[in-house]
Amino acid sequence: MPNVHVISHPLVQHKLTLLRQVERSTQGFRRLVNEISMLLAYEVTRDLALEMTEIETPLTRMASPILAGKKLVFAPILRAGVGFLDGMLELVPAARVAHIGLYRDPATLQAVEYYFKAPPDVAERLVIVLDPMLATANSAVAAVDLLKARGCRAIRMVCLLAAPEGIAHFHTRHPEVPIWTAAIDSHLDAHGYIVPGLGDAGDRIFGTR
Ligand code: PRP
Ligand code: URA
């Protein structure tokens, strides 16, 4: 699929299998999401631009690479996207954070906005949207709509699981936004859940069901 990166790293695939298991405890689930998010952060930042800077080692001066440009922004979609945040920030501690509050209306499956808070200069930064689940993609489409409405142009989407229907919908609306995912599952069920999936990501991360 164009503009979709499936992260086949063995550690990601192994941890994803553990996550999917129905018997996984809240504590175990949260820890695995945290571990996977670090590995996903590594992949989604693989091609960030570098520039050379002059530094001094204990022995000599040298030109050495550092990240170029403004600090990037992680944009978790509440709630489940927050489960990705700590792991991402472990790897990129200077990143800024934009919280995007959306929930999926269970009857219509449409995304309902309830909160948005981003750095004032978010439009000048690379924004990486975080949400474990890309199901219908209504939430991810709405999140990117909100970011574009504030002028953002450099946007990436990271999830754990994506449904083929969700990828198609997302790229119909935002074809230039690349997706990183650990797996593309089979399909959506009648309630918009990813099959085989892992259930309700927010409930499993926060122990609310
Ligand atoms: C879940 C998930 C995504 C959304 C995916 O959130 O975290 O945000 O559903 O579904 P979609 O692709 O069909 O929009 P939910 O609305 O259950 O809210 P929560 O994270 O607060 O549990
Ligand atoms: N949201 C979830 O948390 N899980 C799904 O399978 C679909 C949407």
Tokens of 165: 């229907």
Q: Is the pLDDT of residue 96 over 90?
A: yes
Neighbours of 198 (CB within 10 A): 22
Q: What is the Cα–Cα distance from 49 to 13, expressed in whole angstroms?
A: 27
Ligand 1 site, residue 135, Cβ cutoff 6 A: yes
Global confidence as pTM: 0.97
Residue 199, C-beta contacts closer than 8 angstroms, at least 6 positions apart: 22, 193
28-41 average pLDDT score: 97
State how many domains the chain has: 1
Neighbours of 117 (CB within 10 A): 9
Q: Can you give the residue range of the structural domain that contains 47? A: 4-206
Q: What is the average pLDDT value for the chain, to the nearest integer?
A: 97
DSSP 126: -
**DSSP H helices in the chain:** 10-20, 26-44, 82-91, 138-149, 164-173, 201-206
| CATH code of the domain covering residue 83 | 3.40.50.2020
Residue 156 has what pLDDT? 98
DSSP 124: G
| CA pseudo-torsion sign 153, 84, 171, 46 | positive
Q: Which mutation among 33, 108, 167, 193 tests ligand 2's pocket best, with the greatest number of atoms within 8 A of CB?
A: 193
pLDDT, tens only, 118-137: 999 999 999 999 999 999 99
